Amino acid sequence: MSMTEPASLPPQPLAGSLVANCLTKGIPMTSTTPRDDSAQSMTKIALAGAIVAENYDGWSPELKEEFARHSYDGHVGSRLLFETNRVRVWEIRLAPGQRVHAHRHALDYFWIATTAGRSRQHTSDGTTRDVSYHPGDSKYLTFDRGEYLLHDLNNTGETELVFVTVEHLDSANEALTITSPEEA
């Protein structure tokens, strides 16, 4: 296998019709992180799901600290399946109750849900959302220079939640460093 050939995906993934029919139009992002404590981060983006809390309501001190610690963490999935000079392809596989720590998306990317399920996610603007997914659900996100999305993801359903996420390395922003799972 050459360095540019994809690794084998797990048995459940994407049927051709799932991939061909699920991409949505890119959504412009507007996000800023102040370098001082004078203002909160702002994320103005059409994210999936229903808002269940705002203004950091229900956030533990540990969750707030995790967001600060991982504010530039480019480890956006459970496992990096492969990387070329053009893309990074991630698998996100979460058992019920399992979560992916806070991480930052700065590259244009899309995700595809390969299983049905539910999640709760927190975003750096203090918003908490509950989201339901169906196989084939997808979202494509684009970022102008300096824009990003900082969030976590927790499987609140009763079944395994699986996504494939593809980041485009030729985006307006530089690729972030990928931390090892031990550092997360």
pLDDT above 90 as % of the chain:
69
9 pLDDT above the threshold of 70? no
Rounded-to-integer distance, Cα 1 and Cα 3, Å: 7
Model pTM score: 0.74
The β-bridge relationship of strands 87-94 and 117-122 is unpaired
Confidence label for 181 from pLDDT (cuts 50, 70 and 90): low
pLDDT above 70 as % of the chain:
72
76 neighbors 153 (Cβ within 8 angstroms): no
Task: Report yes or no on 7 lying in a domain.
Answer: no
Task: Report yes or no on 144 lying in a domain.
Answer: yes
End-to-end CA distance of the chain: 30
Classify the phi-psi angles of 62: left when phi > 0, otherwise alpha if psi is within -120 to 50, otherwise beta: alpha
Task: Report yes or no on 116 lying in a domain.
Answer: yes
Q: What local confidence, expressed as pLDDT, does residue 177 receive?
A: 83
pLDDT in tens, 148-162: 999 999 999 999 999
CATH of the domain at 60: 2.60.120.10
pLDDT in tens, 89-108: 999 999 999 999 999 999 99
What's the total number of domains in the chain? 1
Q: What are phi and psi of 62, to 5 degrees?
A: -65, -40
Q: What local confidence, expressed as pLDDT, does residue 42 receive?
A: 32
Task: Report yes or no on 145 lying in a domain.
Answer: yes
Task: Report yes or no on 2 lying in a domain.
Answer: no
Residue 45 in tokens: 């983006």
**Secondary structure in 3-state letters for 119-154:** EEEEECCCCEEEEEECCCCEEEECCCCCCCEEEEEE
Which structural domain range is residue 110 located in?
16-32+41-183
Q: What local confidence, expressed as pLDDT, does residue 108 receive?
A: 96
29 pLDDT above the threshold of 70? no
Return all residues near 60 (Cβ < 8 A) that are at least 6 apart: none
pLDDT in tens, 109-144: 999 999 999 999 999 999 999 999 999 999 999 999
